[in-house]
Copies of this chain bind each other. A is one copy, B any other.
Amino acid sequence: MQVFPTAEHSRFSHSLGTYEIARYIIETVDTVKNALSEEEQVTLLCAALLHDVGHGPFSHAFELIHPIHHEEYTCKIILEDSEVNQVLKQISPDFPSKVASVINKTHPNGILSQLISSQIDADRIDYLLRDAFFTGTPYGYIDVKRLIRIMSVKDNQIVFKESGIANLENFVMGRYHMYRTVYYHPASTCYEVIVTNLINRFFELLATGYKFKGDYCLLLPFGSRKSISAAEYTDLDEYSIYYYARLMSREDDPILKDLSIRFLNRKLLKTVLVKNALEANYYKDLVIKEGYNPSYYFYSVKPNQIIYKNYGMNDKANINILMRDGSIKELSEVSAIMAALINADLSSRDDTIVIYI
């Protein structure tokens, strides 16, 4: 949202959206509805609503620092003594564990997990649409109603009708373009690097017994790296990180101060696109020569372009096509363009993003 100023939609609205997509699938696709018991339908809707509840602040950045699997925390929040847990228990004592089993993919009816976390699911559909709308890019503009209308269930798994292959291609290409133009936008990457390094620096100083002026009560538990309770975890939201960044901008440590001011005032580091690791190293050397610590002021990444995969014969994670003759094939077996996308070494021509002082 620092790069696309209008892209400020929260995880909250994404959760509502994922719920609505899941609800619409059940309402519209009879084969899905019939493949789920009434309890499973409610379980699916709750899992859709809660699937991201365990995400930390600036989640990708944060996961780099604190070894937390967000799905694990999602389950923790659902299962531990939280408000969420209390509401779910009103359905039945074991309802929270049923919802959690969709998140960690152990629910006996595999269709539930497929609808929440597979290669085309309520989660991915919502965030493609949402990101496209709020960033104003045309790449994720898909015909969601038709995409859902071609869904079906066959052999106890989600399949898509052959007549809708173009919709599936469009969905995958939309994701491909969103990754390249939005998620891997150099400025977005740079902003993530700054947050990550800022918090890293804070924990570094904490570990060495640095005397901070400010009170960072909600962040401290994460520094000591012991086990974090669900409550501690949810208390530390992005608002807290912003607030702490403001306190950090008043500390004396020059790196903490500099990175926090960059974070608060959108003062990005420089970014450049290079062709390979060798060229990237040139910038690392430059950072060192200028007297900066490359742990905080240098970063390079080659965008990861794998956004769709054929996992091989009969894998549940595949995008499966229900052919007119009743057989099931994997998408790339029937779409030439998807086969091309899979087989091409997409990254071969892509640039490496370098962030440096």
Contacts and interface: CB of A to CB of B under 8 A. Distances in A.
Interface in A192-235: 214-215, 217-218, 235
B5 A10 contact: yes
Nearest to A245: B239
Task: Report copies per complex.
Answer: 4
A195 to B, nearest CB: 14
A137 interface: yes
A288 interface: no
Contact of A336 (B5, B243, B349): B349
A6 B9 contact: yes
Interface of A: 5-6, 8-10, 12-13, 16, 83, 134, 137-139, 141-143, 166, 169-170, 173, 176-177, 180-181, 214-215, 217-218, 235, 237-240, 242-243, 246, 265, 273, 324, 334-337, 339-341, 343-350
Contacts of A324: 273
Contacts of A349: 334-336, 339
Contacts of A215: 214-215
Given A215-B215, A337-B340, 13 more contacts: A5-B12, A5-B16, A137-B143, A138-B170, A139-B166, A166-B177, A176-B337, A214-B215, A238-B239, A335-B349, A336-B346, A336-B349, A340-B341
Nearest to A137: B143
Contact of A141 (B141, B235, B273, B344): B141
A288 B337 CA distance: 37
Contacts of A335: 349
Contacts of A181: 166
A343 B343 CA distance: 11
Contacts of A173: 170, 173, 337
A336 B337 CA distance: 12
Please provide the 8 A-B residue pairs with the shortest distance between their CB atoms, ordered closest to farther.
A340-B340, A239-B242, A243-B243, A5-B13, A340-B344, A141-B141, A215-B215, A8-B8
A135 to B, nearest CB: 11
